[in-house]
């Protein structure tokens, strides 16, 4: 399921009890994991549906310089249905990323710094999201899932490691220092 393009959801389906229950279940699953996003294919449902939330409490223990470099700020809970992603500008940033579908691992993934997403919300209403920084990364990651792509398809392979190794040796390393230590151009 993770390697297939998920199916579109009609506006009438979005408002159905079944999809509304799925959204709540996905929200609970994302919180329990814990994570900042979850796409329906990650739980075995082939629908173009994702939930996203980066709670303020997720950021409490993270050093301020780390948050600033990643442009990471809280993102309220919301739903993406049938999203269409457009990368904005040439700027690309590289940071460690993980995934609930590949638990226990992380790697550096290059992503666009800014994106624009056209989608439907949890009630089927059209929505446009313009995002930058970490929020743009979350959107790209979750929309990749809807297209059958996982972060390891995009990662800098020399940076792939266990979360334990990352926490021990790399957790607070800046992108510039990581680039020097790993020895890649970028």
Residue 85 bridge partners (DSSP)? 117
Choice among 71, 118, 142, 185 that is catalytic: 142
Which residue pairs from 23-32 have beta carbons closer than 8 angstroms and sit at least 24 positions apart in sequence?
23/49, 23/51, 23/79, 23/122, 26/50, 26/51, 27/51, 27/53, 27/77, 30/100
Q: Are 107 and 160 in contact (CB under 8 A)?
A: yes
Can 142 be counted among the known catalytic residues?
A: yes
Q: Are 110 and 186 in contact (CB under 8 A)?
A: yes
Q: Catalytic positions, please?
A: 142
């Amino acid at each position: 399921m993770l390697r297939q393009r998920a199916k579109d959801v009609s506006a009438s389906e979005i408002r159905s009890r079944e999809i509304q229950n799925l959204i709540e279940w996905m929200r609970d699953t994302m919180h329990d994991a814990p994570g900042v996003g979850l796409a329906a294919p990650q739980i075995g449902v082939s629908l173009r549906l994702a939930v996203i939330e980066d709670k303020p409490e997720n950021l409490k223990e993270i050093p301020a310089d780390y948050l600033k470099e990643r442009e990471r700020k809280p993102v309220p809970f919301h739903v993406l249905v049938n999203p269409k992603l457009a990368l904005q500008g040439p700027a690309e940033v590289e940071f460690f990323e993980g995934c609930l579908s590949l638990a226990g691992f992380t790697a550096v993934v290059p992503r666009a710094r800014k994106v624009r997403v056209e989608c439907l919300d949890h009630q089927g209403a059209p929505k446009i999201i313009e995002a930058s920084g970490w929020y743009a990364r979350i959107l790209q990651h979750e929309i990749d899932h809807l297209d059958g792509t996982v972060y390891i398809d995009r990662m800098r392979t020399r940076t792939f490691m266990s979360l334990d190794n990352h926490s021990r040796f790399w957790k607070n390393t800046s992108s510039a220092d990581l680039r020097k230590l790993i020895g890649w151009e970028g």
